[in-house]
Amino acid sequence: MSKIITEDVHVPRESAEDVFLFGTPKDRLDFYRREIQYETSLLSNRTNAYLTAQSFLVIAFASSMANLNPAWGELFTLIVPTLMAVLGVVSSLNAWPGFKASNVIIDHWHFKQSHLLKSDPVMGNAYDDSPLFNETESSHKGYRKSLMFSMRTPWLFMFFWLVLGSFCICVQLSNAS
């Protein structure tokens, strides 16, 4: 039986510190906090853009409902505001996945942060033995309350557009008869 002789390849061994991505629990906590801050700012930007678009759509809806042109005003105020209400519903449905995705990611990083704070007693307490983060900040219930506005906004606007669209159709059809 023949053997293939090769040179020994020197593979450097990893030390215990190199095995972990983060050097210390403080580095890990800082990373989690940065990720939470980044995702929260993305959610805030999405909410601002959504609210801006919705406010312009509400203004356009109100302006189109105020059309008093005797020749084509009735048909215009029946079709255009209804289409804007449909656009409002569709944009709300399309905005929801982005809001939900941000919420899931923020939830993930808060979960990891709370486990780090609970698993490492040094990280959970400051130098004077008082908690660095109180239970409200690190609990699931605490930060979820701050995300409620962004999470509910698309649903509230969708309901708002459904009511306005129905109102628009009812008013125009009752005026036509």
Q: Which residue has the higher pLDDT, 13 or 113?
A: 113
| Assigned token pair, 127 | 């130098």
Q: Which residue has the higher pLDDT, 59 or 140?
A: 59
Q: Given this model, what pLDDT does residue 97 score?
A: 95
Q: Answer yes or no: is pLDDT of 125 > 70.
A: no
Contact in structure between 168 and 143 (CB atoms under 8 Å): no
Contact in structure between 43 and 102 (CB atoms under 8 Å): yes
Mean pLDDT is highest, among 111-120, 141-150, 163-172, for 163-172
Contact in structure between 149 and 102 (CB atoms under 8 Å): no
> pTM of the entire structure?
0.74
Q: Answer yes or no: is pLDDT of 127 > 60.
A: no
Count Cβ atoms below 10 Å from residue 108 Cβ, excluding itself.
Answer: 14
In the chain, how long is the greatest CA-to-CA distance? 102
Q: Answer yes or no: is pLDDT of 84 > 90.
A: yes
Average pLDDT over the chain, rounded to an integer: 81
User: Of 65, 85, 61, 82, which Cα lies nearest the Cα of 73?
Assistant: 65
Q: Given this model, what pLDDT does residue 139 score?
A: 58
User: DSSP readout, 73-85?
Assistant: HHHHHHHHHHHHH
What backbone torsions phi and psi does residue 125 show, to the nearest 5 degrees?
-115, 145
Contacts of 33 (CB under 8 A, 6+ apart): 113
Least confident of 22-36, 91-105, 131-145: 131-145
